[in-house]
Structure 1
Amino acid sequence: MSWVTRLGFVAPAASAPSDEAALLARLAEGDAEALALVYRRESGSVYRYALALAGDEAAALDAVQEAFAQLLRGPLGYQAGRGSLGAYLAGMARHQLLNQWRDARRHVSLDEADDEAELFPSSDARLDDAQQQSQLWTAIRRLSWPQREAVVLVDLQERSYEDAAAIAGVSADVLRTRLHRARQRLADLLAVGERP
C-alpha cells in the first residue's frame, strides 16, 4: 500500500462549469441556498487540502472559513476558464495559510526558523499505523513550502496538474518540477528514517 493510499485522501468531485456558473449567479443575487450547495460540494476537499498543507486543524478551519467568506463577498470574481470552483476556493485557502505561515515566521527566532515542526504539527489520526504517519508527516514538514504544496495537491488530493498549478499560482511545468523534487526529497527522507 502506498503512502498516499494510507492517508486516505479522496479526489474532489468534479462539477460541470455551467452548474458552477449558475450557482455563482444565484450567490451573487443573495441566494443563501446557493452558498449552502457550494459549501456542501466543495468544503470537504478544501478543508482536506488546507489540513494536509498546514497540519493544524485550527489553521485549516480558518483558511476554509476565509475562502468561503471571500467567495460570498465577491462570487463573480471566480473565472471558470482558470480552473474549477474547488481549485479557486483552495487557492484562496492557500493564500490564507501562506499569510498565517508568514506571520508565524516573523515571530520565530532565527534559531527556530528552520524547525517547521512547531509551525505545522501533524495529525496522527490519519493513518492506521501511527509510527508510519509520524515518519511521513515529519518528512512532508521538512519539504519547502512549494514542494509540500505540490505533494499535497497532486499526490494527496489527486488533483490534476492543471488544477494544482492554478491553486499554486504557477505553470503546470513549474508544478511538475516542484513535485518531482519533492518526491525525490521525500524518498530520501523516508529511506533515512527506515534505517536501524
Structure 2
Amino acid sequence: MSWLSRLGFVAPAASSAQADEATLLARLAAGDADALALLYRRESGSVYRYALALAGDEAAALDAVQEAFAQLLRGPQAFDAARGTLGAYLAGMARHQLLSQWRDARRHVPLDDALDTDDTAQAMPASDARLASAQQQDRLWAAIRRLSWPQREALVLVDLQECSYEEAATLAGVSLDVLRTRLHRARQRLAELLAVGERP
C-alpha cells in the first residue's frame, strides 16, 4: 500500500489496452492516425491527471496534454523506450509545457482550494461512506495544490504517478538527492496541511 493510499487516495486503474507500444509508434511514424488515437486512449488519462495535479487548472492541464500528443505526432521517433515508459515521456512533455506557461506568466500556477471537476458526481446521491471518501479526496487534492511547484511535482511523480525515484528525478530535471529532499519536504508539508484541516 502506497503512502497516499493510506490517506485515502485511490490510484487510477492501469490501462487494459493490449496493442504493442512499439508497433503503434511505428504505425504513427508511418502516418497512421488510428495509431495516435489508440495511444491517446491508452496514455492520456494518466498524463492529464499528472498535468492537473501540477497545474491545479483544467484548461492548463488539457493544453499541456494536447501539446504533449502534438509533439509525439510530430516526432514519434524521439521517444526512446530505453529511457523510460511512453507515459513518462508524455508526462515530461506536458510538464515542460506547464513550466513554460508558469515562467511566461512569472507567477506560480494557481492554487485552487478544491477540485471543481466533479460537479456531476457531487449532485448524485451517495452513501455516507462514499461521501466521506469523496470529501477526504477533495481535502487531499486541495492540500497538494498548496505545495510549492517543486514539492508538488516530486509528490505527484513518486506518490501519485508511482514513478521510480530515478525516473522522477529525470522528469523533474534534478539530481536524485534533490528529488528525495523535495519529496521528503512535500510529504512533511502535506501532513501538516492535512493535520491543520482536521482541527476543530
Could you say which TM-score interval applies, normalised by the shorter chain? 0.7 to 0.9
SS in 1 for 2:4: helix
Asked if residue 91 in structure 1 is aligned to residue 96 in structure 2, the reply is no
Q: Which moved more, 1:71-80 or 1:127-136?
A: 127-136
Would the aligned equivalents of 1:165 and 1:171 in 2 still touch at CA under 8 Å? yes
Amino acid across the alignment from 1:146: P
Contact 1:10–1:158 (Cα < 8 Å) also in 2: no
Counterpart in the other structure of 2:62:
61
Mind listing any 5+ residue stretches in structure 1 that lack a counterpart?
Answer: 107-112
The aligned length equals: 185
- Deviation of 1:148 after TM superposition, in Å, equals 0.1
Larger RCO: 1 or 2 (CA < 8 Å, sep 6+): 1
Identify the residue that residue 181 of structure 1 maps to in structure 2.
185
In structure 2, the residue matched to 1:160 is 164
Q: Compared with structure 1, are the counterparts of its residues 46 and 12 closer, same or farther at alpha carbon in structure 2 (3 Å cutoff)?
A: farther
State the Cα distance separating 1:141 from its structure 2 match: 2.3
Q: Label 1:180 to 1:144 Cα distance change in 2 as closer, same or farther (>3 A).
A: same
How far has the Cα of 1:142 moved from its partner?
Answer: 2.4
Report the counterpart of residue 7 of structure 1 in structure 2: 9
Correspondence for 1:80? 81
- Report how far residue 14 of structure 1 moved: 9.5
Structure 1 residues 37 and 138: CA distance shift in structure 2, 3 A: closer
Q: Report SS of the residue matched to 1:7.
A: coil
The answer on whether the counterparts of 1:82 and 1:166 sit within 8 Å (CA) in structure 2 is no
Tell me by how many angstroms 1:15 deviates.
8.8
Q: Is the 8 A contact 1:11 1:159 kept in 2?
A: no
- In angstroms, what is the RMSD of aligned CA positions? 3.0
Greater CA drift, 175-184 or 133-142: 133-142
State whether structure 2 residue 182 is matched by structure 1 residue 191: no
Deviations 1:8-30 (A, max 9, x none): 232655999xx433322221111
The 3-state SS of whatever aligns with 2:180 is helix
CA contact (8 A) 1:10 1:157 kept: no
Q: Which runs of 5+ in 2 are unaligned?
A: 122-129
Identical residues among aligned pairs (%): 76
Greater Cα shift, 163-172 or 139-148: 163-172
8 Å CA contact retained: 1:140, 1:148: yes
